[in-house]
Structure 1
Amino acid sequence: MRTGPLRGTGVNVTEMAFGAAGIGNLYRPVRDEDAAAAVDAAWDAGIRAFDTAPHYGLGLSERRLGAALRDRPRDAYTVSTKVGRLLVPDDTGGDDLVNGFAVPATLRRVWDFSADGVRRSLEESLERLGLDRVDIALLHDPDGHAPQALREGYPALERLRGEGVVGAIGIGMNQCALPALFLRETDIDVVLLAGRYTLLEQEGLNEVLPQATDRGRCVVIGGVFNSGLLVDPKPDATYDYAIAPEPVRQRALRLKSVTERHGVPLRAAALHFPLGHTAVRSVLTGARSAAEVRDNVEQMSRPVPAALWDDLRSQGLLAPDTPVPSDPTREPS
């Protein structure tokens, strides 16, 4: 598993990272032993970058990830977590499925991108993880809280980075406008961009990736399967966490037809594609079981012929100037 640095930070990430939302009971329950086995499978495959957040399962993801990593050498892996949602007690009962997680709703989320909120969030994450530090801290989904995230949350992260509490700071979102703003106006190290630079759509090429390149910053790409559509574009496939609109699904089916003509599963091409851009350091894939991890790693290890990308361009499914993976020995610059 190739490893590269987030430039200027001393923080390294493997080209495939483990997304821990799934082991936070995303959509359906996951047993403790299956969650641990998923992290073990990632480790055995050489994955050394792990991403979580308080939002994922109301802290369950952080607790499970921390437990699974507890006996690993701390300097051998990178952990990222997020700030912006504090968890506070809630006795209303029920579950958290309205937010996508099959866990009891014993806590509720409170948006807080203030300086105090950022520090408190990070302290509580460290307690759940059982760690004395995280390597990367990200502002999480500040869509409706941009002014506070920019004026209070970001400076707090910058101070924490200066104090050595975290190694790198950034923003994690599934839209492009705010990450582009933060790249222009702040000194963030990394953007976690989910779903907006994939084989299906390349909105990230408009601003985020060029600005990251110009500023010497790095991008981690999440949502490479567009919520599952690029795994299997069946009629009930999801896109952006909802049933895919039919025109979008038809585009995914066209992509699948081309990739399979070259003997490459659609999900394998989807995993490889983002790494063609020099600003991209890693692709983040979620998994809830060891089998899912192993499948992702297997797909990443499949060779993808250059003719496949040429075919996609000739079919109008990729723009002629879209960067694609070309060097199988590619190392991050």
Structure 2
Amino acid sequence: MFRKRQIGKTNIQVTELGFGAASLGNLYKAISNEEATLTLSSAIHSGINLFDTAPRYGLGLSERRVGDVLRELAPSEYVISTKVGRILTPDRKANTKELRYGFDTPMPFDAHYDYTYDGIMRSFEDSIQRLGIAEIDILLVHDIGADTHGDKDEFYYNQLSESGYKAVDELRTQGLIKAVGLGVNETEICERVMDIGQFDCFLLAGRYSLLEQDALDTFLPKCENHGASIILGGPYNSGILATGVKGEGEPHYNYQPAQADIIKKVREIEDVCEQFQVPLAAAALQFPLGHSTVATVIPGLGSERRVKKTVELFHHDIPTDFWLRLIEIGLLRQDAPLPKSNAK
């Protein structure tokens, strides 16, 4: 089983290990409905209670699969988060035999950005229908920010600040959702939206990890002051902290081939892992939870085998001396708070 932590100032309690459901939308490759059900059931059986999905994941496929399993449980047994910011519309010309937005999905839809009041309300209602669940616990504004929108960043930010935030705040006030947040890959937009209103959490992919601790400078302290928790996605930094760099294949970092300096640093971390007999992936999973603002870590889980392996890694006993050695040789910042043991 897993310890639980609170999301922001809400009453939501989530397990320290959560479930990222992008793979259930057939991310890069298809999995069967049976495998998706087995994967979710394995996670539930292990004690995981947080399940994060989104309309983008398989153009609705992930939400359908997650909802099909969770609706068999009492609402008190799980925490569901999904996202707004995209509207799915029917696409009769969709080629469902090829990857679309990185997903091998049979769903004949296309996605369009919309962060307005009406767009967010429609997206929320559509997700309720796809999930087949009457309540959503955490609603995250998805992929807002310059990383995604480039020169249209200001346009979409204004949609959110001028009308979209009102929608999520209304849903929270009315009790239709329990928490409001962002689901993004950059800290800058999280700091920026704190000026719009109250956010309970930020699902942040990869920006606080064994490889990156710059968030300690301003972002994590601002989250503490704001009362926002971190749901930490992408703990493996796009895979390099899961596979390491000593095997075959090209390591990836930040969704692209890793640069030489990143490969060098990971190799040095792997050397310490070998000295202490600590799996690199276990260290990557457990490290972010040393910070009190991080409520949960949610790797992507796309198979029953992956769930079981991830739970094993999460509970691997890592000695304090391992973390201290990383600090001593400059591979971790000296001010990085260290995690407690997750050993059973």
> What interval of TM-score do these two structures reach, taking the shorter chain for normalisation?
over 0.9
> Which range is displaced more, 157-166 or 233-242?
233-242
Aligned to 1:269: 283
Instruction: Give the distance between the partners of 1:169 and 1:57, measured in 2 at CA.
Output: 23
Aligned to 1:135: 137
2:322 to 308, 311, 317: 308
1:167 to 178, 189, 192: 178
CA contact (8 A) 1:90 1:105 kept: no
> Which range is displaced more, 70-79 or 233-242?
233-242
Unaligned runs of 5+ in 1: none
Q: How does 1:85-164 map to 2 (within 5 A)?
A: 85-95=86-96, 97-104=99-106, 106-143=108-145, 144=153, 145-164=156-175
- Whichever residue aligns with residue 66 of structure 1, its letter is G
Aligned to 1:54: 55
Aligned to 1:72: 73
CA contact (8 A) 1:176 1:203 kept: no
Aligned to 2:216: 205
CA contact (8 A) 1:189 1:217 kept: yes
Normalised to the residue count of structure 2, the TM-score between the two structures is 0.92
1:177 to 188, 202, 208: 188
> Which range is displaced more, 158-167 or 212-221?
212-221
Instruction: Give the distance between the partners of 1:92 and 1:328, measured in 2 at CA.
Output: 49
Aligned to 2:85: 84
Aligned to 2:148: none
Aligned-CA RMSD value: 1.5
Unaligned runs of 5+ in 2: 146-152
Q: Deviations over 1:230-264 (max 9, x none)?
A: 01124412222222223212211211111221111
CA contact (8 A) 1:50 1:80 kept: yes
Q: 1:178, CA displacement in angstroms?
A: 0.4
Q: Deviations over 1:115-149 (max 9, x none)?
A: 01101001000111000110000000112322212
Distance 1:98 1:237, change over 3 A: farther
Q: 1:12, CA displacement in angstroms?
A: 1.6
Q: 1:197, CA displacement in angstroms?
A: 0.6
> Which range is displaced more, 86-95 or 153-162?
86-95
State, as a whole percentage, how many aligned pairs show the same letter.
39
CA contact (8 A) 1:92 1:105 kept: no
Normalised to the residue count of structure 1, the TM-score between the two structures is 0.95
- Whichever residue aligns with residue 199 of structure 2, its letter is I
Q: State the number of aligned residues.
A: 329
CA contact (8 A) 2:94 2:109 kept: no
CA contact (8 A) 1:93 1:104 kept: no
Report whether the alignment pairs 1:247 with 2:288: no
CA contact (8 A) 2:315 2:342 kept: no
> Which range is displaced more, 265-274 or 316-325?
316-325
Q: Deviations over 1:286-313 (max 9, x none)?
A: 1110110111110110111111111111
- Whichever residue aligns with residue 169 of structure 1, its letter is V
